[in-house]
Amino acid sequence: MVCLFHWDLPQSLQDGGGWLNQETVGLFGDYARLVYQTFGDRVRYWITMNEPFTFCYYGYDEGIFAPGDKSDPATHPYSCVHSLIMGHALAYRIYKEEFFTQQNGKVGISLDNFWQEPADPNSEQDKLAAQQSYSFRFDWIAYPLFRGEYPPIMRKIIDAKSKLEGRKESRLPEFDAEWISKVNGSLDFLGINHFTTQLVKFANNSTTQNASNWESDTGTVRSYDPNWPDTGSHWLKVVPEGIRKSLKKIKQDYQNPEVIITENGVSVASLGMIMNDLDDLQRIEYHRLYINQVLKAVKIDGCNVTGYVVWSLLDGFEWSQRYDTQFGIFHVDHQSPNRTRTPKKSVKVLQQIFRDNGFPSVSKLHKISVISVSAQENKYSGTTVLLCSAPFALMFSAYYAYGQLSA
């Protein structure tokens, strides 16, 4: 499994506008073609883009990720996502038209997937708010891939706000007929990166009426239940049932597509002592609980999940959290020139889960206190789920540098 774009971009392209410049779409297609030519005989699964929402929102609204551009949060995040969707669709069509016959691989995209739970489960308003928030985050990218257009609720809200702001055009772009045909149906599988759940309710009008950005456009506010267990990241709470709910909703909304969970994992704050860092019991419990919910989605709900990828194989650079938190199942000594890698306790546990293909044998169930398996589920011996750890990400910037040097 190889990811083509995980947020790196050649500086020369960024200087020319980056993903706000639609010329980048064509260059991304050239890059994808070269990568397919070079590695395609050894790759079964391709991910074109990793989390377009995260890249565009945190890069062009909050500005805490590259390129750190907060100059126009009203339009830039929407333009960025629009270009990424087109880049994805172009890379998909290139593979299907030029490489599929010889290589027989699959091409998909990975979307961040926070389950949106009504703040009050008995409130109809909160239920509507949760759906609206979900549409503005996950469906923003997923809906065009399955329908060829943006979610109706996004179109309605942003078009209306744009008109009130005196704009001649909506802040939410549109695909022309040619791009609709390219974007619609442009995936063989849907990758989801799921870590946690949020509580949602509608925002007060006074909070949003004067703002023009994604946050205000959603019309909602999100929070966390203080009773949910904390982790090494402030945004990541342990809520295992959220992943099952997400998978059921994808099945319902998009006619049960093939889904690969391309990232699922938990961060643990480094204590600065390797022996403590290796004893990652919270990570073990997290994966047992979440994998159990995935298997319920597969076996009870009939969700078409064919793969599960642990995030991540190694402790790495976690963007704005730098090296202060650890997602890896292998510890990395960043003070050592050799970057020494040491397996954590979670490695052996996950190895056994993978050998059992997700379901432990009945003889082992009594040893796993964190998994609750009903009598109905015990009858299943396993499932054909691809279980592995972090996908390999290629570098767009490395390709572009190669292209410049060899031109």
CB atoms within 10 A of CB 102: 10
Strands 115-118 and 220-223: unpaired
The first and second tokens of residue 85, run together, are 């969707």
106-112 β-sheet, strand order: 386-389, 305-310, 259-264, 189-193, 106-112, 45-50, 2-5, 392-393
Rounded CA-CA distance 174/22 in Å is 14
- What Cα–Cα distance (Å) separates residue 291 from each residue in 101, 285, 364, 385? 34, 10, 16, 11
Kindly list the distances between the CA atom of residue 95 and the CA atoms of 30, 108, 235, 344, in Å, as whole numbers in the listed order: 11, 11, 36, 38
Among the listed residues 51, 215, 263, 285, the single catalytic one is 263
∠ Cα 85 38 3 (to 5°): 35
Q: Is 263 designated active site?
A: yes
Q: Catalytic site residues?
A: 263
